[in-house]
Amino acid sequence: MGWVFAALGSATVFAFVSVIDKRILSAHVSGFVGFSVIVGALQFVMVVVAFFIGGWKDASTYAIFLSALSGTFWGLGLFAFFYGLKILDVTRAVPVFHTFPVFVAAFSVLFMGEQLSWLHWAAILAIVGGAGLVTMGQEKTLISGNAMLGFLMVLLGSVGTAGGTITTSLALEEMAFWNVFSVRALFLGLVLFVPVFHRIGFYQTLLILRTRKSLALIVVTEGPVVMVAIYLTLLALDLGSVSLVSALMGTRPVIVLLITSVLSLRPFKLLDEIPTRSTLGVKLTSAVLVVSGAAALSVV
């Protein structure tokens, strides 16, 4: 049961991060590229912290390669997700992004020899389907850019995350926990940091560094908070089946919906994503499906 709590904890913390990221991208930074660069730099700090906690233990070249590949996949997935999140409402982007459990389940059965019962598949589809319902009936307001391109980038981010989840699980079978954490963070950081060498990335990064409030918000959110979320993610993958863990992490869209609804209320008014009366039934159905699927996975 430890993997269940770790996966749900990861989903909850990352839900808060997604909402704050949306706020940062829409109100505090001029572009997602500079934001990605800062996030990448903070991953390098996590490498040092992880190395300090766990040291370095002997590992095969294959294990190191898997960890590096994991970080690369996660980095590419996050970069694509940040692009889509800049364009789309957070309650639209996150459900599309969290279709990745289906990709993970299919790959793990076909290539990793995992055995899933019909109840497992039903629970996975309930979670993904329920998360997808969150997008129905929302106002089609965009912050900027093209909606179709935004959805495509988020979907590509989902595929990248699926690849990262699978390779992380494989690496944890071959390598010490904190070593996987550090190598993964190193390569994830490199992928997100590379755009600083482009003039647009450099300019956007410079603007963020000159704005203390924006920089502080990014550092707190993408530093210690994200490190806790990553720790819970890796812990869940270390303890449980990759397909079932990823499915439970798919509860994140419903948590995002709850958070955005609260933050859109008059006392806060940080966002403008209150569910209307016409969409309330859809939202409740979505919540029931996701919670039912999560409950089924935790007992089978």
Tens digit of pLDDT for each residue in 252-288?
877 887 888 777 776 766 666 666 666 667 766 776 7
H-type alpha helices, the chain: 2-27, 32-54, 61-87, 90-97, 100-111, 118-133, 147-174, 177-193, 199-210, 212-220, 226-239, 242-249, 252-263, 277-299
CA angle 231, 234, 239 (to 5 degrees): 120
When divided into structural domains, the chain yields a total of 1
Classify each residue of 162-189 as buried b or exposed e, where b means 16 or more C-beta atoms within 10 Å of its C-beta.
bbbbbbbbbbbebbbbbbbbbbbbbbbb
How far is it, in rounded angstroms, from Cα 72 to Cα 84?
A: 19
List Cβ neighbours of 52 (8 Å cut-off, separation of 6 or more): none
> Residue 186 corresponds to which amino acid?
L
Structural domain harbouring 285: 2-299
The percent of residues in the chain predicted with pLDDT above 90, rounded, is 50
How far is it, in rounded angstroms, from Cα 222 to Cα 212?
A: 15
Q: Which two tokens stand for residue 16?
A: 């808060």
What phi and psi, each to the nearest 5 degrees, are found at residue 164? -65, -40
Identify the CA nearest to 217 among candidates 39, 1, 31, 2: 39
Q: What is the pLDDT of residue 143?
A: 46
Q: What is the pLDDT of residue 144?
A: 47
Q: Which two tokens stand for residue 39?
A: 């996030």
Q: Which two tokens stand for residue 240?
A: 């449980």
How far is it, in rounded angstroms, from Cα 229 to Cα 6?
A: 9
Q: What is the DSSP letter of 195?
A: G
How far is it, in rounded angstroms, from Cα 14 to Cα 19?
A: 9
How far is it, in rounded angstroms, from Cα 28 to Cα 22?
A: 10
List Cβ neighbours of 271 (8 Å cut-off, separation of 6 or more): 19, 22, 23, 90, 260, 263, 264
How far is it, in rounded angstroms, from Cα 184 to Cα 226?
A: 14
Contact assessment for residue 74 and residue 81, using Cβ atoms and an 8 Å cutoff: no
Residue numbers of the chain with a pLDDT score lower than 50: 140-144
Q: Which two tokens stand for residue 132?
A: 């997808």
